[in-house]
Chains A and B, each alone.
Chain A
Amino acid sequence: MDKREKAALKITANKVRQLIIEGVYSAKSGHPGGSLSAADIFTYLYFKELNVDPHNPKWSERDRFVLSKGHCCPGLYGVLALKGFFPEDELKSLRHIGAMLQGHPDMKGTPGIDMSSGSLGQGVSAACGMAMAAKLDNASYRVYVMLGDGECEEGQVWESAMFSAHHKLDNLCYIVDCNGLQIDGRVSDVAGLEPLDEKFESFGFEVIKINGHCFDQIDEAFQKARTVKDKPTVIIATTVKGKGVSYMEDQVGWHGKAPNAEQYELAMNELKEQQKALEADLAEI
């Protein structure tokens, strides 16, 4: 990935973060923390990795993305809007009565959403089904599914892991957004999840560990995943919950809470400052 491309992705990710804050502020509810931690990966997926067409969202040969941690949809909605699946203004009615953008992803109502999700542990199984369908049809599309580290406490995640490895679903890539926090506290305090990499490895996965905010590492991981044969890949991405908004970073309280007017201004000012700096970086390349 060249420097210009990387700089452009960083700017897009910054815009996704602004849309997350816009959306959650407008909704007066929602999940900013995990949306912000996943924003760089969302951006990479939709602006670099996935073969999708915003003008033909149901195209049968498209790559699929399932957001198994469905509550982080403000980030997904932001990137879908920037990609052109629907107008950015839709974020302003997020979670409102009659709005297209529901509190959790709704594949029936929202262009670009490949699977309804929100109940943790279920999106991964649906992604397995999509990857199986591609195998049955000898289709070349790939399937990506993002889950949270807290979500890995759901038993169904491991049912799906057994299934995808058994069926050698090398067209399937799990991404675990390891931001280290869940509603009730640190993942390490709530449940004994570690060693997560060894767990997936023992289930038969190709395991790639990265910093989920470093585009070079993200790029390398997804490129490598494409070359893996006869087994699924999991990219375990270490991230910072609330990334990009100083007062939200690594704070458990920002899992599912909207900023007030003052906090909104503060967050948007920070993000706009970051945007200026990133645009200056791009101009210098």
Chain B
Amino acid sequence: MAESVKIATRESFGKALCELAKTHNDIVVLDADLSAATKTDIFAREYPERFINCGIAECNMIGVAAGLAAAGKVPFAASFAMFSTGRAYEQIRNTVAYPALNVKIAGSHAGISVGEDGATHQCLEDIALMRTIPGMVILNPADHYEMLAATKAAYEYKGPVYIRLGRLAIDSFNDPDSYKFEIGKGITLHEGSDATVIATGLVVYESLKAIKALEAEGINVRLVNMHTIKPIDRDIIVKAAKETGRIITVEEHNIIGGLGEAVASVVCEECPVPVTRIGINDSYGHSGPAVKLIAEYGLDAATLADRFKSIMGK
């Protein structure tokens, strides 16, 4: 296995765009004055002629992306998740998704791991917003290698895609030599039969560390990395419900409208078993160092291990 790298998924995204642009002339990247933060500046330096800085005007940026797509380009429009999906929600709904235009929307600085900027910039609602839009694909990669593959898959997919990017540098855990990404197909990272944890994004690795710690105590928990939240992988959820009898979801997002509810819907409809949602409990974040915030909100490996045990009655 290749060495683990510690890199924020926003940076992986910027690198992936550059790599794709080498062979795909139709890629155009847009930003709204946050390119240094979303890391589209990596692309802007290499392909300035295909980079459009729209200024601090996200609604217009999404519309411009729609027009570019209608004229045959494959635009990637990036801003903080708060603004790309929040401020420009209706532009995405009516001018991108309703006409099924081939626009890729990136939301960086998603979740509380934004850190010190605090609640106004810690988007905990982006997945919920995007889930309600018919035809929208939602990708939430968990490490560097997954982000590289997801960005490529988003390019190859014809239609609107939302990609969630994180600010915090995180350790990679996927093996690039064997890793395969397919939109809509969850990945079983760890086998287990006592319960299944389904996690997405930054908290996948935290969940993995927690589950490995429990293994030493004789508790065998399955872990599914749900990198695609829409369309959700129904098969892997139903299989987990049938085989393990209990599901716990983990996400760096409001428990309302996110991965947990997407999973719970499938479980309720197809194989009812107890589902517990771990995430942000319908509240706002606040300022602080990212790693401390993750622990405060109970999303670090140590706290997750305790919560998994408690939920399982162990």
A residues touching B (Cβ–Cβ < 8 Å)? 60, 64, 66, 106-108, 114-119, 121-134, 136-137, 155-156, 159-160, 162-163, 166-167
Separation of A66 and B28 alpha carbons in the complex (Å): 21
In-complex Cβ contact of B57 among A60, A122, A134, A162 (8 A): A162
Give the docked Cα–Cα distance between A60 and B71 (Å): 8
Within 8 A of A (CB), among B28-62: 28, 49-50, 52, 54-55, 57, 59-62
Task: Please tell me if B273 contacts chain A, counting CB pairs below 8 Å.
Answer: no
- Choose among B55, B62, B72, B91 the residue that contacts A133 (Cβ–Cβ < 8 A): B72
Contact yes or no, A125 B95, CB < 8 A: yes
Known interface pairs A126-B63, A156-B59, A159-B60. Does A107 touch B68 (Cβ–Cβ under 8 Å)? Answer: no
Taking a contact as CB atoms under 8 Å apart, the answer to whether B28 and A116 are in contact is no
Of the residues B55, B57, B67, contact of A130 by C-beta under 8 Å: B67
Which of these, B54, B69, B71, contacts A163 with CB under 8 Å? B54
Asked whether, in the complex, the Cβ of A134 is within 8 Å of the Cβ of B71, the reply is yes
Question: Quick one: CB contact mask for B139-173 with A, threshold 8 Å, 1 for yes?
Answer: 00000000000000000000000000000000000
B63 touches A116 (CB 8 A): no
Closest CB of chain A to B305's CB: distance in Å? 47
Question: Are B99 and A115 closer than 8 Å at their CB atoms?
Answer: yes
Report the separation of the CA atoms of residues A141 and B63 in the bound assembly, to the nearest whole angstrom: 19
Query: Closest residue of chain B to A145, judged by CB?
Result: B67
* CB-based closest 8 A-B pairs: A129-B67, A125-B63, A133-B71, A159-B60, A159-B57, A126-B67, A129-B64, A116-B99
B63 and A130 form a contact (CB under 8 A): no
Is there contact, CB below 8 Å, between A122 and B91? Answer: yes
Q: Beyond A115-B95, A159-B57: 16 further Cβ-contacts under 8 Å?
A: A107-B99, A115-B66, A116-B99, A125-B95, A126-B63, A126-B64, A128-B60, A128-B64, A129-B71, A130-B71, A136-B28, A136-B49, A136-B50, A159-B59, A163-B60, A166-B55
The reply to whether B95 and A116 contact each other, CB–CB distance below 8 Å, is yes
Verify A122–B55 contact, CB threshold 8 A.
no
* Chain A nearest Cβ from B192, distance in angstroms: 45
One of A107, A132, A163 near B55 (C-beta < 8 A): A163
Query: Which residue of A108, A118, A125, A130 contacts B59 across the interface (Cβ within 8 Å)?
Result: A125
CB distance from A199 to the nearest CB of B (A): 16
A-B contact pairs, 19 of them (CB 8 A): A115-B70, A116-B94, A119-B91, A123-B63, A123-B95, A124-B63, A125-B61, A125-B62, A125-B67, A126-B63, A129-B63, A129-B66, A129-B71, A130-B70, A133-B68, A134-B71, A136-B28, A156-B63, A163-B60
A115 and B64 CA atoms in complex are apart in Å by 12
User: Which of A108, A116, A117, A163 is in CB contact (< 8 Å) with B64?
Assistant: A163
B62 nearest CB neighbor, chain A only? A125
What is the interface of chain B, defined by CB distance below 8 A to chain A?
28, 49-50, 52, 54-55, 57, 59-73, 75, 90-91, 94-95, 98-100
Query: How far, in angstroms, from A128 to B70 measured CA to CA in the complex?
Result: 11
Q: How far is the CA of A32 from the CA of B64 in the complex (A)?
A: 29
Main secondary structure of the interface of B (DSSP, over half): helix
Q: A116-B95, A119-B94, A122-B94 are in contact. Are A129 and B55 (CB under 8 A)?
A: no
A125 touches B71 (CB 8 A): no
**Which of A122, A137, A166 gathers most chain B CB within 10 Å?**
A122
Do residues B66 and A126 form an inter-chain contact, with CB atoms below 8 A?
yes
Q: Is the CB of A122 within 8 A of B95?
A: yes
Chain A, residue nearest B93 (CB): A119
Question: Does A115 contact B67, Cβ atoms closer than 8 Å?
Answer: yes
Contact B90 A156 (CB under 8 A): no
B181 CB → nearest A CB, Å: 29
A121 to B28: give the CA distance in the assembly, Å: 23
Chain B residue with Cβ nearest A160: B60
Q: Which of B49, B52, B63, B70 contacts A122 (CB 8 A)?
A: B63
Write the nearest CB–CB distance from B172 to chain A, whole angstroms: 34
| In contact, B68 and A160 (Cβ under 8 angstroms) | no
B6 to chain A, nearest CB (A): 36
Please give, as numbers and ranges, the residues of chain A lying within 8 Å of B55 by CB-CB distance.
Answer: 159, 162-163, 166
B66 partner residues in chain A, CB cutoff 8 A: 115, 125-126, 129
Give Cα distance in the complex from A106 to B100, angstroms. Answer: 11
